[in-house]
Amino acid sequence: MDQLSRHWFDETWCQIKSICELVDIGYTTAKRVEEAVSPFAMLPALLGDFEKTFIIRGFAERCRTDGRDVDDYRPIWIESSVLHTTNGSARVKIGTTDILVGVKCQLIECEDTSEESNQLRFTVEPSLFIYARARGKRKAVRSFARSIRMALEAAYNGGEGAITNMNRLILSNKFMWRIYVDVVILQHGGNVVDAVFIAVKAALSDTKVTQVRVVVHDEHLSFIHCDRSTGPNFFRLEAAHAPLAVTVNQIGDSIAVDCTTTEEAAVRTALWVVMDQPENARIPDDQIRLRLIKQMGAGGIDPCSIPEMIDFALKIGRELHTAVKSRLEVIRNSDSSQVGSLSFHTG
């Protein structure tokens, strides 16, 4: 490693340490700021210096190449109940980013359910198409997918309230439902994390768990019984308050959301802000629960800019939560054979 590279590495590492030592930034719960020197774009576009300068100056003027402002999302497309072999599923597109999520419920028998973790089990896998385009960067692709999985686990399993009726999954002291959430990144067109969290929330909202009861025959033998009924014999996971993620990108001296792959090539660093849905519009920002704050990208970040980026994420997150909730309610209350997908704007 030459002297210039060593100087850059030492400077970046000092910034990482300063971020990790930041323990109070004025927001309630989950005041976690994590740093990871790894790519936040799986398939970064190759841009020359002049192209990057053009993008950076455009963001400084709040004018992006596709005409959006820095706080605008591309159209978000949601489709529910797309996989009939699952208990719940959803597909979300943001631009060319395409995410597919399936939820499976498995009935398990254990020695004592009180000793088992009643948590969601996540897997995140890029598609073979993405691996084929990686061209020697498959390790970076796997690392990025692992970071998303860890973010999902921290958001949903790091505290209570993401799914409000998880206690219904416990049937007895020996039987319980286990929920598996499988995420497939079909295509990467930028802003994958936000799309993944929207798709996971939509799939969990679509999940139906069969209602069964445990019949105890004797001390050592129990049966699972499913009542015959002409009506619905299932219950839904209550995921209305499930968290969403807002990725705030630093491009030059500007911050923006929903970057394309071309724009991500000019991003210095990004902050993932995972937040719960506010109970109402009157809830102040400092009372919104932040479940995860995570920095991605090899570039350093000024700790003084973090509150500004979080405030920006909270503003966008309020609008995103409202828009997603509205569309999921329309899908749920409509005939799925007629209204399976909806496209909408936010920002």
261-273: per-residue pLDDT in tens? Answer: 889 888 888 999 9
pLDDT for residue 20? 45
Which DSSP symbol is given to 70? Answer: T
> pLDDT-based confidence at 218, cuts 50/70/90?
low
CB 203 within 8 A of CB 103: yes
Q: Which of 3-7, 155-159, 334-338, 342-346 bottoms out in mean pLDDT, i.e. has the lowest?
A: 3-7
User: Which candidate, 78, 68, 176, places its Cα nearest to that of 119?
Assistant: 176
Q: Is the pLDDT of residue 340 over 50?
A: no
Q: What is the DSSP letter of 170?
A: B
CA distances from 25 to 29, 213, 273 (A): 11, 47, 13
Q: What is the reported pLDDT for 324?
A: 92
* Phi, psi of 79, deg, nearest 5: -130, 135
Cα gap 76→321, rounded to integer Å: 12
pLDDT confidence tier of residue 322, bands split at 50, 70 and 90 = very high
Can you name the residues that pair with 75 across neighbouring β-strands? none
- Residue type (1 letter), 131: Y
Q: How confident is the model at residue 33 (pLDDT cuts 50, 70, 90)?
A: very low
Q: Check: CB of residue 63 under 8 Å from CB of residue 320.
A: no
Instruction: Quote the CA–CA distance of 120 and 182 in Å, as a whole number.
Output: 10
Structural domains in the chain plus CATH codes = 25-342 (3.30.230.70)
272: how many CB neighbours lie within 10 A of its CB? 23
Rounded Cα distance between 194 and 203, Å, is 14
Q: What percentage of residues in the chain have a pLDDT greater than 70? A: 77
Label residue 341 by pLDDT band (50, 70, 90).
low
The mean-pLDDT minimum among 83-92, 227-236, 305-314 falls in: 227-236
Residue 26 falls in which region: left (phi positive, over 0), alpha (psi -120 to 50) or beta: left
With a cut of 60, say whether residue 231 has pLDDT above it: no
pLDDT band at 173 (very low <50, low <70, confident <90, very high): confident
Residue 317's pLDDT is: 94
pLDDT of residue 250: 92
Q: Is 319 exposed, middle or buried (0-12, 13-18, 19+ CB in 10 A)?
A: middle
pLDDT given at position 10: 52
Give per-residue pLDDT as tens, 80-116: 989 989 999 999 999 999 999 999 999 888 787 777 7
